[in-house]
Amino acid sequence: MSSNLPTDITNFIQFLRLNEGLSDNTLQAYQRDLKKFWAYVEPTALTQIERDRVEDFLYQWHENQGSARSIARCLSTLKRFYQFMVSNQRMATDPAGAVKAPKLMKKIPRVISEQQVEALLNAPDETTPLGQRDRAILELMYASGLRVSEVVNLPYEQINLSAGLVQVSGKGKKERIVPIGQLAIEAVADYLKSARPALLKDNRWVPTLFVSRLGRPMTRQTLWHRIKNLAFEAGIQGDLSPHGLRHAFATHLINHGADLRTVQLLLGHSDLSTTQIYTHVAKARMQKIHQTHHPRG
């Protein structure tokens, strides 16, 4: 961390490091935001800042084409910094406390088409144990909308193929039960019958449903690299997000008439507004189809 900063900033960064155990990258992000603010208000002392100065700083950042997301992040940094200042009796009031963050536009995720999903699902080489595993993973993800972390951490006993259900422990350890279709059931059954025992080799017990080529639980990074490589083999242009099949699952459901509340429950979203982003994706797709195929589009 830089030593060419006011003592109040270095003390704050040190407080975060010692009390919250934040990573160096996170600490550096806090420091960058505070350094930018300090450069703007100089020579006024940080302890003499009032609300209008904070608002002026954010307004100027906006005028210089700063994104709403970066401005909101910086405001969050300033709020934490000045809460720290008040709690340590360096200031009587928090000048950033009442400042409102700019409204953030939710980023519309890139969604691959149903034809692209089909190509991706057919990409694994099912003559090999790894190919059977990858096909089972892809079918399960597209059938259920599970997050990458939920897939790699899914316990062996929490999928019920006879009932066509999977029990998921999602964010905040919230449990949900999600149905899966026949094709996913068949792919996972084939994997369990031959591929998983072949990957385990010495028949040791591993708690997770899916295992690596070394017979260990998979990591998020491994799964992401597999999906990325298979997308390339399937001819899907551009980087496919780690959540690509989750986005496709939700959008394709809505495209085929599923209601938003059902999709929310399947995805495990606590807030319906998070799910609403997929209605924008579906509308954008309908608009594109209209423009392409309508004679006056």
Q: Count Cβ atoms within 10 A of the Cβ of residue 64 and give its class: 0-12 exposed, 13-18 middle, 19 or more buried.
A: exposed
Distance from the first to the final alpha carbon of the chain: 56
Nearest CA among 282, 75, 265 for reference residue 176: 265
Catalytic residues: 147, 171, 243, 246, 269, 278
Where would I find the H helices in the chain?
A: 7-20, 24-41, 51-63, 68-87, 114-121, 129-144, 148-152, 182-190, 196-200, 220-233, 244-255, 260-267, 272-275, 277-293
Distance CA 98, CA 218 (A): 45
SS3 7: helix
Q: How many CB atoms lie within 10 A of CB 140?
A: 27
**Structure token pair of residue 98:** 């009442």
| Cα gap 81→265, rounded to integer Å | 37
CA distance 226 to 107: 25
C-alpha span between 228 and 244 (Å, rounded): 10
What is the rounded distance in angstroms from the CA atom of residue 156 to the CA atom of residue 153?
9
